[in-house]
Amino acid sequence: MHRKFINYFSRISPLSEEEAKAIEENMVLKTYKKGAYLLREGQISVDTYFILEGCIREFVVNDGEEKTTNFFTEEQWVISLNNFGPQSPATHNLICVEDTTVSVGNERQAQKMFKQFPRFETISRVIVEADFAEQKKLLTSYLTDSPEQRYLKLLSYRPDLFQRIPQYQLASYIGVKPESLSRIRKRVFQGLK
């Protein structure tokens, strides 16, 4: 598990042996069972997560109904926007869809590492910028694409989710009811024949 994390950072910028060792020594690995909450709406979010194995679902509850807003899988960061600026209660929930192993970090740990290795701050900024760019792309897609277009994009870019996520959660994610997702799937597969 440690190696996966080191390899991820090494792909962004090659690490010295000393830097790799520092990351490994400061890693906090946690494993959560399927169904475990990492964050509940209303809690203060201070941690970020890097997924080594498993899947986390982000959702909000609107009028008593869960609306899935994202799925995070291996080698993705789970960074709550509430972590930036004045701390405020989370407006979303994070729950494990599968047994999940993560590396857990927070601002205090990050600042300690930045003091020891200043270039880690640049690497961190690259990660956060890439994460925000991905979130913006998802939001734009949700606002401009039809549910069928969102389904096709998901099928193209994240096909693994179709084997890992219950259909009703996928439907919620693309913004339709499960029955509508069934109709979209039928149209798509008929079009492929």
pLDDT along the chain (193 residues), means of 10: 85 91 91 97 91 97 93 92 70 96 90 91 90 88 91 93 94 93 87 65
Distance CA 192, CA 183 (A): 14
Partner residues linked to 58 by β-bridges: 70, 94
Alpha-carbon distances of 169 from 11, 59, 150, rounded to whole Å: 32, 10, 14
pLDDT at 110: 87
pLDDT at 43: 92
Alpha-carbon distances of 20 from 1, 5, 9, 185, rounded to whole Å: 13, 9, 9, 45
pLDDT at 86: 67
Q: For the sheet with 93-96, list strands across it.
A: 37-39, 93-96, 56-62, 65-72
Phi, psi of 20 (to 5 degrees): -60, -40
pLDDT at 156: 92
Tell me the pTM: 0.89
pLDDT at 40: 95
Domains of the chain: 2-117 (2.60.120.10)
Distance CA 158, CA 107 (A): 30
DSSP state, residue 16:
-
pLDDT at 92: 93
